[in-house]
Amino acid sequence: MHPSTHFTHAICRTPPASAVRGLRAVDTGAPDIALLRADHEAYVAALRATGARVEVLAPAEDFPDSLFVEDTALCLPQGAVILTPGAPSRRGEAELMAPVLERFYGEVTPLPRGHVEGGDVLVTGREILAGLSARTDRAGVLALAEIVSGWGYTLRAAETPPDVLHFKTACSLLAPETLLATRQLAATGCLAGYEVLEVPAGEEAAANAIRFNDAVILPAGFPRTAEMLDKAGYTVAEIGNEQAAKLDGGMSCLSLRFSPPAG
C-alpha cells in the first residue's frame, strides 16, 4: 500500500444550496441541488466502503463552490498546506478548512505567496506534479515546492492544457507509477516515464477519477473507460457526476484524501 493511493481519512463537504451559483466555464444550467446531494452521498459511501474514515462538513452557503474541498489544501503524510485558490470567490474556503485540518495535523502550513488550487496538484509515487493554470500560478508553485521539499518531495511544474480547468481534470493516479489521462495531456510529454492509460476519445471527462484505497472512483457514463480499467484489474465504483460536472467538478474535487501523522 503506497501513500499516494492509500489513505485512512477523507474530508468532504455537503453541497450548499448556493451551488446553483457556482463557477463554471460554460453555462449549461444550474445543478439540481437534490440530485447533486444524492450523488455526493453516493460518493461518500464509496469512499467509506474502502474502510476510510470520512468526515462530511456542513454546507458552507457563503461559498457556492465549497463542495470542491480538494482545492483548499494539499494533504501529505508529513503535513498539510492550506492553499490560496486562484479564484477570488473561493479563497474563504481555504480559511474554513484550516481549523478542520488542524484537528488532524496539529498545525498546518499556509501557502506564503502566489495561488495554487488543489485540483492542479497530483501526488504520484515518485513526485508531485503541479499544473500551471488559470487558477495556479508560478509564484504559488514555487512556494509550494519549497514547503514540500522540506518534507522530502520533488515538485515538478507542468502546463495544464488550455481550456482545461485543473491539471487533474485531465489525469488521475491509478497506481504509484500509472496514470489515467486524456490524450491531449499525455501528448504534452509531461507524463513521460509513467505508464499512461489514455481515456478513449469522447470520454475525456472520465480522466478525473481517483484511486482511493482498493477502489477507482470513476464518474458514471463512461463505459469504455470503465471497461478498460476493469480489464486492467482495477475495482471500479461509478458515481453520478452530471450535476457537479455543470460546475466543472469531478471525482477528485469532492474530497481531501489523506493519512494524518496520528492516523
Q: How far is the CB of 149 from ligand GLY (least distance, A)?
A: 27
Kindly state the smallest distance separating residue 15's Cβ from ligand GLY, in Å. Answer: 11
The least CB distance from residue 65 to ligand GLY, in Å, is 4
Active-site position among 12, 166, 171, 190: 166
d(CA 46, CA 233): 18
Beta strands in 14-119 (DSSP E): 53-57, 73-76, 79-82, 109-110
C-alpha to C-alpha distance for 94 and 129, rounded to whole angstroms: 21
Residues that bind ligand GLY (CB under 6 A): 22-24, 65, 68, 87, 90, 165, 247-249
Residue closer to ligand GLY by CB (options 30, 142) is 30
For residue 102, the minimal CB distance to ligand GLY (Å) is 24
Q: Find out whether 147 and 128 touch, Cβ atoms under 8 Å.
A: no
Q: Indicate if 253 belongs to the active site.
A: yes
Contact by Cβ (8 Å): 224, 211: no
Q: Is residue 88 within 8 Å of 44, Cβ to Cβ?
A: no
How far apart CA 162 and CA 131 sit, in angstroms, is 11
Choose between 37 and 174: whose C-beta lies nearer to ligand GLY. Answer: 37
Amino acid at position 82, single letter: I
Active-site entry in 12, 75, 190, 253: 253
Measured from each CB, the residue nearest to ligand GLY is: 23
Active site (catalytic) residues: 166, 253
